[in-house]
Amino acid sequence: MSEKYDSIIIGTGQSGPSLAVRLAQAGRKTAIVERKLFGGTCVNTGCIPTKTLVASARVAYLARRAADFGVMVDGVRVDMARVKARKDAVVRASTEGVEKWLKGTPMLTVYEGHARFEGPHAVRVGDTLLEAGEIFIDVGTRAHVPALPGLDGVEHLTNGTMLELDTLPEHLVVVGGSYIGLEFAQMYRRFGARVTVIEMGPRLIAREDEEVSAAILEILEDEGIEVRLNAKCITLARRGSSVGVGLDCEDEPRGIEGSHLLLAVGRTPNTDDLGLEKAGVKTDARGYITVDEALRTNVPGIWALGDVNGRGAFTHTSYNDYEIVAANLLDNGQRRVSDRVPAYALYIDPPLGRAGMSERDVRQDGRRALVARLPMSRVGRAKERSETQGFMKILVDASSRKILGAAILGIEGDEVIHSILDVMVADAPYTVLERAMHIHPTVSEFIPTLLGKLEPLGETAP
Ligand SMILES: Cc1cc2nc3c(=O)[nH]c(=O)nc-3n(C[C@H](O)[C@H](O)[C@H](O)COP(=O)(O)OP(=O)(O)OC[C@H]3O[C@@H](n4cnc5c(N)ncnc54)[C@H](O)[C@@H]3O)c2cc1C
């Protein structure tokens, strides 16, 4: 059977559904294909479930600290089955919402199954061949499972299977000291598990500045998370019902023995089973689809959006990809990927909010810059809440006075970063923000104070 459409979208992640609905509303006969769960990674195994669990973990953390606030709580017990049920309910509402939205949109047909290219304008889903002049790929990524010695003999978890746990691991070993691994590590520590993080590099979250990595290490260690850095060679072996993790290249793994093993060591693009070769679509060496500034692939009429194009790895970058493509196609726009200011957050608690360049980026760039830092222990709001961990940092171009980048590690860091981000997007000098009157008592009211401390960036990082 063969069906003709104006547009086909593969994947219902963070750009596909919005684009499909927009195209259908513009009068294009549109098809969207999903092989698994509506809403993709963020909704089902990424942002939404993890942040829902982070919220439960924070309640457990605060309950244990209740006496610090003069509130006496008699013992804290975390019921993992209820924690999971709460998470499942939030996820279900989101995934069902996406499915209903897509299936209820006129001019849009939903196909459930695996899509594979058969040519530049043809995609097969089961028995049906879909044809269209425009095809948009939003297939996302999946957890990368590295070929660690001994992996075949042990059970391991990924971000997806972690979310199915409804009991507390006795000792969770997390391989990978970056965003996903650290969020799981802290939440499970707060649920009551012993947690060890193993990182091959010399510090956590290597893409951040060293002082950010060091502060995060301190926050996690203060909560009792064990962190093993410089694990040059990770080996695995079964030890009864536990898993042994070796860090020192010995034949017999020694050192750490955990009840559960989570592998959180990056992502793999879902392009290996998409038939891209039949369409002639090029990828890079890691399998990410190569796109231009407008997210067009090398094949006319085929675009790639979301994580799979390697131009972002976040829900907001994927959604922004949709906005770029829709504006250029339907509104005569001239939008480009490089117009956006990079921004993201790490959802440990307190969170890290990031915008623009890091200090390392600025140093590599070689421009004259100013820098300022302020510890969260100076921030009234943080003191009132007895949560003074972390610091703020901002970098400014010495000549143009434009903000180059910022990191806010501290309570509300994920929200506060937006006042800086928005000034960067407006391409305004930092003085606009420095002179703004902010509300008291908030964390944001200290951004002008931070900017008042700008000084030339020294020769070497602190
Ligand atoms: C644990 C974790 C936590 C995260 N937390 C955050 C966060 O807090 N904030 C944030 O911004 N980002 C977060 N992310 C990243 C975020 O989830 C992704 O950036 C986002 O989901 C990317 O969306 P996407 O559009 O690329 O596609 P995805 O959401 O990955 O969806 C792709 C869809 O395509 C489908 N598909 C794949 N191949 C085919 C095929 N051949 N045929 C049919 N369908 C197919 C898949 O089944 C999937 O539904 C997190 C990720 C993880 C793993």
Ligand 1: residues whose CB is within 6 Å?
A: 10-15, 33-37, 40-42, 45-47, 50-51, 114-115, 138-141, 159, 180, 270, 274, 306-308, 313-316, 318, 347
Q: Which atom of ligand 1 is nearest to the CA of 319?
A: 25
Fold match, 151-265 / 343-456: no
Tell how far the Cα of 42 is from the centroid of ligand 1, in angstroms: 5
**Following DSSP, what letter does each residue of 329-384 receive, concatenated?**
HHS-----GGGSPPEEEE-SSS-EEEEE--HHHHHHHT--EEEEEEEGGG-HHHHH
Return the pLDDT at 119. Answer: 98
Tell how far the Cα of 135 is from the centroid of ligand 1, in angstroms: 19
CA 382/CA 389 separation, integer angstroms: 8
CATH architecture of the region 343-456: 2-Layer Sandwich (3.30)
Tell how far the Cα of 391 is from the centroid of ligand 1, in angstroms: 31
- Which residue has the CA at smallest separation from atom 52 of ligand 1? 46
pLDDT in tens, 284-302: 999 999 999 999 999 999 9
What backbone phi and psi angles, to 5 degrees, belong to 27? Answer: 95, 5
Per-residue CA distances from 453 to 228, 355, 358, 416, 457 (Å) = 35, 19, 18, 18, 12
- Which residue has the CA at smallest separation from atom 48 of ligand 1? 40
- Which residue has the CA at smallest separation from atom 53 of ligand 1? 46
Return the pLDDT at 379. Answer: 98
CATH 3.50.50.60 fits 2-141+268-339, yes or no: yes
Q: Which atom of ligand 1 is nearest to the CA of 180?
A: 1
Q: Which atom of ligand 1 is nearest to the CA of 125?
A: 42
Tell how far the Cα of 251 is from the centroid of ligand 1, in angstroms: 37
CA nearest 9: which of 38, 41, 45, 33?
33
Mutate to test the pocket of ligand 1, among 36, 37, 42 (most ligand atoms within 8 A of CB): 42
Return the pLDDT at 458. Answer: 85
What is the residue whose two structure tokens read 């070993």?
173
Return the pLDDT at 232. Answer: 82
Tell how far the Cα of 427 is from the centroid of ligand 1, in angstroms: 30
Tell how far the Cα of 36 is from the centroid of ligand 1, in angstroms: 12
CATH architecture of the region 151-265: 3-Layer(bba) Sandwich (3.50)
Return the pLDDT at 461. Answer: 63
Q: Name the strand (E) or helix (H) holding 395.
A: strand 391-397
Return the pLDDT at 462. Answer: 61
| DSSP secondary structure letter of residue 288 | P
Distance in Å from the first CA to the final CA of the chain: 65
Q: For the chain, which residues make up each domain, given as ranges?
A: 2-141+268-339, 151-265, 343-456
Mutate to test the pocket of ligand 1, among 111, 184, 314, 337 (most ligand atoms within 8 A of CB): 314
Nearby residues of 26 by Cβ (< 8 Å), 6 or more positions away: 330
Mutate to test the pocket of ligand 1, among 12, 47, 91, 272 (most ligand atoms within 8 A of CB): 47
Tell me the two tokens of residue 302. 């085929």
Q: Which residues of the chain have pLDDT under 50?
A: none
What is the residue whose two structure tokens read 């600290």?
65
Does the annotation mark 440 as catalytic? yes
The helix/strand/coil state of 188 is: helix
| DSSP secondary structure letter of residue 259 | S
Return the pLDDT at 255. Answer: 76
Strand order in the sheet with 352-356: 343-346, 352-356, 403-409, 391-397, 369-375, 455-456
- Which residue has the CA at smallest separation from atom 3 of ligand 1? 46
Q: Which atom of ligand 1 is nearest to the CA of 38?
A: 49
